[in-house]
């Protein structure tokens, strides 16, 4: 009679790799925070983020950790409330020199407009833009008091707690008028060299007979007229009307627009932050395939 062999005990599952906590970036502006994937995890790309009115890098802790868990480093820039395009360009270039590609420039609220403005600068060569909560009106009515501002920003109780407890958060900044210099290129993308190749021949060279060899800086950037752009916006945003954002995205040749049902202004930190981060990761994965954003998934819901 053969002996009965007891099944071998299952080996414990390996612990998941945890993304590194936020840290100050070496050789960066004071206040910049960085979230990187866990040690040993593949680095799939980099997001350089510009906060908006009232915000600072610390309010993006949850966002940074989530993207880092998917392999994307996040650098939330601490450049102060009103950085010049040249300052954004210099900070972005410092990250892009040593960060894994693709490297995209992202912003929320006026940070999104500043990302657009920086993309007009010759020294900024992002692989794509992520524009969240674009404020495309100069004088939208400001919320009346802190509770109304919280309700305009987010319906997420956790994020409301973060904002309320942050002594560095600038309350009431929605009353600040959006600068005309930031609005003009966004309202008329035909005037923005980052989005219109005809206006920026230096970044849109005439096609050569044979491909030119790659230089020390790697391949040339995609044609600015085809710069991939992801636009994220809350469908119930009381600070930045969604219809203006729809019209803006429709004018761009390579834009993807994601509207969040019942989403408020702080779309990256609203109640649907997991779904928004998932959409951003899917777009980044497509960007890894090239500036034409090849499709990776087709979701079909058969009629029932």
Region of poorest pLDDT, from 59-63, 109-113, 176-180: 176-180
Whole-number pLDDT of residue 221? 38
Q: What is the pLDDT of residues 54-110, one digit of tens each?
A: 999 999 999 999 999 999 999 999 999 899 888 999 999 999 999 999 999 999 999
- Of 69 and 142, the structure prediction assigns the larger pLDDT to 69
Average pLDDT over the chain, rounded to an integer: 84
Q: Which residues contact 269 (CB under 8 A, 6 or more apart)?
A: 59, 60, 62, 63, 154, 156, 159, 162
Whole-number pLDDT of residue 238? 94
Write the DSSP symbol of residue 30: T
Task: Find the mean pLDDT for residues 186-202.
Answer: 59
Using DSSP, state whether 227 is helix, strand or coil: coil
Region of poorest pLDDT, from 69-78, 82-91, 126-135, 178-187: 178-187
Q: Where are the alpha helices (DSSP H) in 38-84?
A: 61-69
Place of tokens 């009103």: 82
pLDDT at 119 > cutoff 60: yes
Over the range 237-255, which residues count as b (16 or more CB within 10 Å of their CB) and which as e? bbbbebebbeebbeebebb
If pLDDT is split at 50, 70 and 90, which confidence band does 199 have? low
Report the range out of 19-23, 29-33, 190-194, 290-294 with the highest average pLDDT.
Answer: 290-294
Give the chain's domains with CATH numbers. Answer: 23-201+227-288 (3.40.50.1820)
If pLDDT is split at 50, 70 and 90, which confidence band does 220 have? very low
Cis before 102? omega within 30: yes
pLDDT at 245 > cutoff 60: yes
* DSSP per-residue letters across 88-106: HHHHHHHHHTTSPSPEEEE
pTM for the full predicted model? 0.83
């Amino acid at each position: 009679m053969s002996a009965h062999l007891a099944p071998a005990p299952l080996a414990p599952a390996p612990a998941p790799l945890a993304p590194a906590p936020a840290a100050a970036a070496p050789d960066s502006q004071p206040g910049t925070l960085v979230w990187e994937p866990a040690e040993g995890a593949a680095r799939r790309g980099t997001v350089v983020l510009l906060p908006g009115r009232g915000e600072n890098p610390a309010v993006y802790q949850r966002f940074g950790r989530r993207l880092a868990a998917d392999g994307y480093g996040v650098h939330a820039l601490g450049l102060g409330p009103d950085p010049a395009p040249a300052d954004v360009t210099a900070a972005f270039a410092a990250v892009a020199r040593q960060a894994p590609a693709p490297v995209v420039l992202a912003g929320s609220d006026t940070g999104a407009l500043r990302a657009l403005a920086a993309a007009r600068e010759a020294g900024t060569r992002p692989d794509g833009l992520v524009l969240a909560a674009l404020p495309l009106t100069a004088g939208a009515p400001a919320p009346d008091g802190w509770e109304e501002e919280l309700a305009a920003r987010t319906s997420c109780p956790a994020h409301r707690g973060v904002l309320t407890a942050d002594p560095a958060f600038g309350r009431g900044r929605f009353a600040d008028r959006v600068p005309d210099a930031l609005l003009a290129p966004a309202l008329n993308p035909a005037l923005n060299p980052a989005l219109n190749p005809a206006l920026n021949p230096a970044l849109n060279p005439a096609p050569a007979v044979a491909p030119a060899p790659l230089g020390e800086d790697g391949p040339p950037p995609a044609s600015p007229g085809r710069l991939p752009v992801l636009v994220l916006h809350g469908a119930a945003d009381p600070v930045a009307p969604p219809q203006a954002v729809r019209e803006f995205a429709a004018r761009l040749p390579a834009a993807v627009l994601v509207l969040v049902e019942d989403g408020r202004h702080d779309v990256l930190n609203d109640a649907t932050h997991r779904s928004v981060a998932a959409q951003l990761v899917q777009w980044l994965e497509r960007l890894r395939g090239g500036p034409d954003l090849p499709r990776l998934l087709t979701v079909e819901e058969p009629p029932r």
